[in-house]
Structure formats: C-alpha cells, structure tokens
Amino acid sequence: MLVSEHAERGRKFKLAIRAGLPVLALIGLVAYSTFFQNEDITIGLREVILGLALVFVTTYFIFFLLEEDGQKSLIDPITNSYNYPAFLQSCERRRPRTLGMLLINNLGTINENYGTEEIDAMLRSLIYQLDGVLNATGLNDAIIGRKQGAAFLVVLDTDPEQLTEALESFVRDHATIRNIELDYRFAVLPVTGGDYDKIVLHLYDTIQAQHLAKGNAPDNDKVLSSAPPANGNGTLEDRIVEAIHSGKVTFSLRPLYHIRTQRITTYEVGVKLPIPGEAPLLPRVYLPIINRLGLGRDYDLVILKHVLDLLQLIDPEISFSFNLSPFSLRNSEFQEKAFERIEASGVRPDRLIIELYERKTHHNLEGYLKTLGSFRAKGLRICIDNFGSSNASMEYMRHFKFDMVQFDRDFVGKLDDKASRAMLESLIRMSHELEIETVAKWVDKPEQKQILENMGVDYLQGFIVARPLSEEQLIQTYNA
C-alpha cells in the first residue's frame, strides 16, 4: 500500500471520530433522559424534540463528513498517489533531502489515441509499479505525488544518487505498461531551502532543457482529464460504437496510375463510416471519438477485415494501400489478430500496402522498426504517407527499407515554386536510389502530370488519372 493511502485512511478515521463523538453523545443523552429517568416510557413533546434533534445532528454531521472528505482529499482520484497540494504539505512536514520528477513525455499523443479508461488504468499501474521498484531498491518510505497528467513526483530522505538509480531502473524495465508504450524523462535534485513548489518548477525546467538539447519537442503540454467530454454527441457516439462493433465501414477507392506500365493496379482506400439516416461520416469527424473511446485497434481490425473481404472478390493483380494507426501496429495483440486474419483470408500479403504517417519519430525507434519488419516478413508492403512533411519520415527512411513513399500534397500544389520543386526532385532521386517507388497524389491538371512524369515519379493519383470508385464499381470492373 502506498504511503499516501495510509495517510488518507488515517485522515478518514480521525474525521469519522470527529463526526461520531457528537452523535454518540447525543444518543447517550437521549437514552438517559428517556429510559433512565422515567420508569414508564412515554412519548411527549420533549421526546419529539429530542428525536428531531437527533435526526438533525446526525444528518448534519454525515453531510459534514462527506463535504470534508470531498474537499480535503489527499489522494489523486486516478492514481491513488498524493495530489499536488497534499504532496507539498507532506514535504513541509517531512523535510526530505531529495526530490525527483518522472515525466511521461508522450502522454499528449497517448491521450489522443487511447480511451480514458485505458489511460487511467495505465497511470494507476504505473504508480504501483514505481512504488514497487522503489521498495525493491530499499527506498521504502518514498512519497509519490502527481502534479498534472504527465508529471509524477517522488521525495525521499536519501541521497539523490539512490533515487536516480531507482528511476533509471524503472524507465529501463517499464517502457510498456498495460500495452501502452511510454516515453519517459526524469530529473532528480537535492532539496535546498523549503520552497518545494519552486523546486518542482526547477525539476520541470531541467527536464525540458535536457529534452530540447537533444533536438526534440515534448508533447506533454496536454493535461489528461478523466472527465467525460462536455458535448451533446452521446447519440452520435453510440452510433459510431455500433458501426465499429458491427464492422460497418464504406470504402472509396482512389486509383494509382503507374506511369511506366500505363496501368492501374493499385488503389488507395478512403474510409467513411455509414450512419443510418445520415450521410456517411468522414474520418476527421469520427476518428477523434474512436480514439477517445479507446476503439482505435478495433477500428483498424475492421478496416483490415473489409480490405481482405474486398480483395477476395476482385482480380488478384489488384492491391490496396490503406492507413493503419502506428498505435495499432505496435500492439502485440493487434499484430497477432491481423496475421491470423490475413492467413485465413488466403489473400496474398503483397497485395496489402500499409500506409504510415507520424508527425514525430517514435521514441523507441529500434523496437518500432522491428515491428514494421515483422509485417514485412509476412509479405506486406510498407508505405510512408505524406512523405517530406515532417522530420519523422526522413528519420524512418534512414533506418528502414520502405516499399513506397507518397509525397505530401503541398509538393504537388507548389510545383511552380522553385524551392518546393527542387526539394521534390531530390526526394524522388533519393527514393529511386533506395529502390523505393514514389507516388504523387492530388494531381488534377495536365501540366502537373507532365512535370511529375518528367521528374520520374512512378505513380500518379488524382482526377487527371481517374475518379475514385465505389466498392460496387470496383467489383464490377475487376471481378475475377
């Protein structure tokens, strides 16, 4: 049990005594005046008044107990560690020698891609595992608190080196908690003076400075909230959940024209969510809700199943390019289910092209690339979407052999800009030297098509090539 939980139990016990003693005294007074001073028990005005007084006082103190408990809780409701005000009060009483901060650097990204229940469970598990590591290293009297969604604090009456070693051990051995990958930062400082709030700010600044020195930008500026969203989309959420659970998605197939062969053998999948009685929902509408509800992996499995079902109905030379969330791909349970479905379908894995787009390089790059390699080993092809729009895509290219890159639409839209055109030419040349196929999307004008062909792009997509097909049109065109 955490030190904070022991303290909270003690506080509630003292509060119960404070509320209970007056009630017991009043009950004793009523019993004495009613049962011991009169031989015959009668109910008169005095007994009625005393009874009402008993009800009033008991009700008042129960209300006082609940009100006091709600306003002065010591514990963070999600993690059971100290909340920040109680943590500072504990520091004032204890006067520790060392104060450390553990920061979840990617909590903002996690909060966008996992449900509230999953994140809360992960945070609770993190606190107990951190407490276990501290106890295992002999630091049994550690006080753990939470400042905000991303920051956790530890104080000890020990040397900073001991806490540093314990946090290093925790970070090394707990990179994944409850199947959620975490990117940690931490700092430890000796306590000088009694302004603990100032020391906490110094810890945060130290972590930020260390991180920025590596050329990164943290995404922990988003504070986690476990409260339900304050909106009127309850009915819409129910319909989205129903659509996911029933596997209802609709595809729009955008053709990729291969310049050298002058054929269309690949289609990029655009997904919509059909809602009864309404127009199909676009991803920008339903994806935030799906991610907040923790249904991202379920949604990706629905997409994969629909892709496999559709591929079984058309010419075996046709391939699909479609997006799957990196959070799903990195999940071991998702990988297992995905491989099982692909094998059971009988579809050639090389007909599946997984599109990736990440704004930031994954902190565990080696592990992530190993995951992508497992999909490649099964025969699937891997594509970087919106290539050139972020440093992350370039970093991945340095370490992994991709099959295809799809250039960011800004390049196509700015072909008349000298700088953008020169960058695109260099990216095409680099990709071809690495034996990676290239795709230019949103090509709508003949002059764009001609320029891109001269640059050596392998595939074109856009209205200049062909309009998107519905599922029915695709089946009619390519039914084997």
Q: Which two tokens stand for residue 66?
A: 């609940």
The CATH topology of domain 234-478 is TIM Barrel (3.20.20)
CB contact at 8 A, 263 and 319:
no
Return the CATH fold of 82-213.
Alpha-Beta Plaits (3.30.70)
- The reply to whether domains 82-213 and 234-478 share a CATH topology is no
Strand-pairing partners, residue 177, are 180
Query: ∠389-369-358 over CA atoms, to 5°?
Result: 25
Q: Which helix (H) or strand (E) holds 257?
A: strand 250-258
Assess contact for 160 and 190: CB atoms under 8 A.
yes
Provide the sign of the torsion angle of the four alpha carbons 385, 387, 390, 393, taken in this order: positive
d(CA 454, CA 437): 15
d(CA 382, CA 406) in angstroms, rounded, equals: 11
Domain boundaries, the chain: 3-71, 82-213, 234-478
Q: Model-level pTM greater than 0.85?
A: no
In order along its 480 residues, the chain shows pLDDT tens digits of 677 767 766 666 666 666 666 766 767 676 666 666 555 556 677 767 876 776 667 666 665 665 555 556 788 889 999 999 999 999 998 888 899 999 998 888 888 888 888 999 999 999 999 999 999 988 888 999 998 778 999 999 888 999 999 999 999 999 999 999 999 999 998 887 778 888 888 888 788 766 555 545 444 433 333 333 334 444 688 888 999 999 989 999 999 999 999 999 999 999 999 987 778 898 888 888 888 788 999 999 999 999 999 999 999 999 999 999 988 998 999 999 999 999 999 999 999 999 988 777 777 778 888 899 999 999 999 999 988 877 777 888 888 889 999 998 889 989 999 999 999 999 999 999 999 999 999 999 999 999 999 999 999 999 988 999 999 999 999 985
The order of strands in the sheet holding 82-83 is 82-83, 143-146, 151-156, 98-104, 184-190
What is the model's pLDDT at position 443? 94
CA dihedral 53, 54, 59, 62 (to 10 degrees): 130
Supply the pLDDT for residue 17. 63
Q: What is the largest CA-CA distance in the chain?
A: 113
